[in-house]
Amino acid sequence: MDGAALYGAIRAAVVEGDAERAGALAGEALRAGLDPLEILDRGFTSSLRHVGSCWEKGELYLPEMMLAAEAVKAGLAVLKPRLSAAGASKAGGAAPLVCVMGTVAGDIHDIGKNIVGTLLEAIGVRVVDLGTDVEASRFVGAVREHGANLVGMSALLTSTMPAMRQVVEALEAAGLRRGVRIAVGGAPVTKAFAQEIGADGTAADGMGALRLFQSLAAKEVPGAV
């Protein structure tokens, strides 16, 4: 299969929620010499966006969206080792940094967060992944426990975006805000929102997130480990 055919087959596997086939196709695309980041973006995440809009139009049901997400996870698992290599070569360098990452309270979407975490690990950042549905107090505890100098939050629901502000405020109340740089992300998050809640920046995709974290890390963080 050529590139276009492979991307078409990946989209079909994701829409049909066929995790086994999605994983196999990710391997086939790598063997065909396609760029792992492009496979992720053109093959998997764009298919998931398509699934989201089908669901919005009532053309798919929630269990089908869940199966599609599982298919993307199967693809991501195959791509992960090669994505790490791609992230390292595109971003360059290694930094002695610790990033606490999590999807905020009330939200269980984790595919985007996992992609960002994988790419960060690839450039030598130690990622403390708190998982999903993470309360503000857990972000605070983890920053303190691990001496983190970076915080990454993800939210995919407009209803959970306010929880990001709560994390910023909780870090402030704990006296930890000055020691960390905070990045927020997820499909509904905008630059204006990031500014409004007092975060240090946002990015729309994995490579953008990598660049953002690198530029934030380059700025002096008082009290950083």
Residue 110 Cβ, how far from ligand B12 at the closest point, in Å?
Answer: 4
Buried b (16+ CB within 10 A) or exposed e, 145-180: eeebbbbbbbbbbeebbebbbbbbebbeeeebbebb
Which range binds ligand B12 by CB under 6 A, 7-15, 45-53, 165-173, 214-222?
A: 45-53
The residues pairing with 129 across neighbouring beta strands, listed in sequence order, are 101
Residue 164 binds ligand B12 (CB under 6 A): no
C-beta separation of 72 from 48 below 8 A: yes
Residue 48 binds ligand B12 (CB under 6 A): yes
Residue 200 binds ligand B12 (CB under 6 A): no
**Beta pairing class for 181-185 and 201-202:** parallel
Tokens of 92: 């360059």
Residue 77 binds ligand B12 (CB under 6 A): no
C-beta separation of 23 from 74 below 8 A: yes
Which range binds ligand B12 by CB under 6 A, 16-24, 49-57, 121-129, 136-144?
A: 49-57
Which range binds ligand B12 by CB under 6 A, 8-16, 53-61, 83-91, 215-223?
A: 53-61
Short-list 64, 36, 39, CA closest to 50: 64
Residue 205 Cβ, how far from ligand B12 at the closest point, in Å?
Answer: 4
Residue 206 binds ligand B12 (CB under 6 A): yes
Backbone angles phi, psi at 103, to 5 degrees: -90, 130
Residue 190 binds ligand B12 (CB under 6 A): no
Residue 209 binds ligand B12 (CB under 6 A): yes
> At a CB cut-off of 8 Å and minimum separation 6, what does 187 contact?
112, 156
DSSP structural state of residue 40: I
Tokens of 205: 């995709």
Residue 68 Cβ, how far from ligand B12 at the closest point, in Å?
Answer: 6
Residue 202 binds ligand B12 (CB under 6 A): yes
- Measured CA to CA, the distance from residue 68 to residue 212 in angstroms comes to 29
Residue 209 Cβ, how far from ligand B12 at the closest point, in Å?
Answer: 4
Residue 158 binds ligand B12 (CB under 6 A): yes
Residue 208 Cβ, how far from ligand B12 at the closest point, in Å?
Answer: 7
Binding site for ligand B12 (CB under 6 A): 45, 48-49, 51-53, 55-56, 62, 65-66, 69, 106-113, 115-116, 152-154, 156-159, 183-188, 202-206, 209, 212
